[in-house]
Amino acid sequence: MQKKDLGLLVLILAVGAIVAIINPRFLSPINLANTANLVGLFGIFAIGQGFVIITGGIELSVGSVIALLGVLFIDLIVTHAMPWPFAFLLMLAGGVLIGLAHGLLVTRMNMQPFIVTLCGLLIYRGVARFYTADATAGFGFGVSFPTLEWLATGRSFGVPHSFLAMLAITAVMWVVLHRSVYGRHLYAVGKNEEAARYSGVPTGRVIVTAYVICGVLTAIAAIFFAMYTRSISPASHGGFYELYAIAAAVLGGFSLRGGEGSIIGVVLGAVLLQVLQNLVNLLGIPSSLNFAVMGSVILIGVLVDQQFGEYRRRRAAQQRQ
């Protein structure tokens, strides 16, 4: 565990202790299970966001993709009676296609990731609203998918399956990022894309793959959210979820300049955000301030990252002298 990760873990424990002292309900099994469920839901696509950010990019269409794929998934299994495993695979394919499109526009067309994914945010939200005629998509009375519901919203030994899924994804992505050649290439591209290219790294392929990974993890999260909420309003479902992902990544040590970050860090960032959300709820703070809390967290995270980066550069310059 890196120093940043350890510091974040200490901060989470400190905030959790303060919340527990103020309101003992924080440590109740029900509240802990609900918090773990939300950590799992948001942590899955936050990990995907981290892969994009480490390349120096950004993915702003996460929330809209969750809305679009969630609507399509529910429609396929409810209206068209498609077996849910096939619908699940189609949603994964949709995530791959979206990630591939974003990656190719960034690498082949030399478009800015901000512009590409901002346009995606608008396009996917609009398509989702058009597909349902702005109506809410959901499960009708008596419609049930016992196996799917148990897998997506059930619990084993009191632990929500969404949280267990996030842990499994974390383990796989940790190996990919920290113990593979591809992971080393990702860091190299994020730190200096031109130097990485001259070193023989297939920079375009690396960046495209990062967006594909983000698309796949977002598709998985979309299905979990669809089963968790059981109804999707395409106009609002997944709204501002990209902020949660970016905030979790930044808090977890991912630099928006690229080339830095760890999987453990982004997971801890997702945990901290949900603990803060829980703090807002338990203390009776108006929910309308949630976005203010989120914006403040992102601002503080970026400021700390910027100051830490300046400190490291000054220290490196002094050592060279």
Per DSSP, the residues of 68-110 read HHHHHHHIIIIIS---HHHHHHHHHHHHHHHHHHHHHHHHTS-
Distance CA 61, CA 239 (A): 10
For helices 62-74 and 113-131, what crossing angle results, to 10°?
30
For residue 321, the Cα-to-chain-centroid distance in whole angstroms is: 41
* Alpha-carbon torsion, ordered 220, 226, 229, 231, to 10 deg: 170
Q: Does domain 3-320 have CATH number 2.50.20?
A: no
Distance CA 164, CA 308 (A): 33
Q: Which residues pair with 232 in a beta bridge?
A: 137
Contacts of 160 (CB under 8 A, 6+ apart): 33, 36, 37, 40, 153, 154
Do residues 55 and 102 make contact, with C-beta atoms less than 8 angstroms apart?
no
Distance CA 77, CA 109 (A): 36
The 10 Å Cβ neighbour count of residue 254 is: 30
Sign of CA dihedral 3, 247, 230, 97: negative
Secondary structure of residue 231 in the 3-state scheme: strand
Contacts of 265 (CB under 8 A, 6+ apart): 2, 4, 5, 8, 251, 252, 253, 254
- Backbone φ, ψ for residue 232 (5° rounding): -130, 120
pTM of the predicted model over 0.85: yes
Q: Going residue by residue through the chain, which has 321 residues, state the pLDDT in tens, using 9 for 90 and above.
A: 667 788 788 888 888 888 888 888 888 999 999 999 999 999 999 999 999 999 999 999 999 999 999 999 999 999 898 999 999 999 999 999 999 999 999 999 999 999 999 999 999 999 999 999 999 988 877 778 899 999 999 999 899 999 999 999 999 999 999 999 999 999 999 999 999 999 999 999 999 999 999 999 999 999 999 999 988 999 999 988 998 899 899 888 888 888 888 999 999 999 988 888 887 777 777 777 777 876 777 677 677 766 776 776 777 777 776
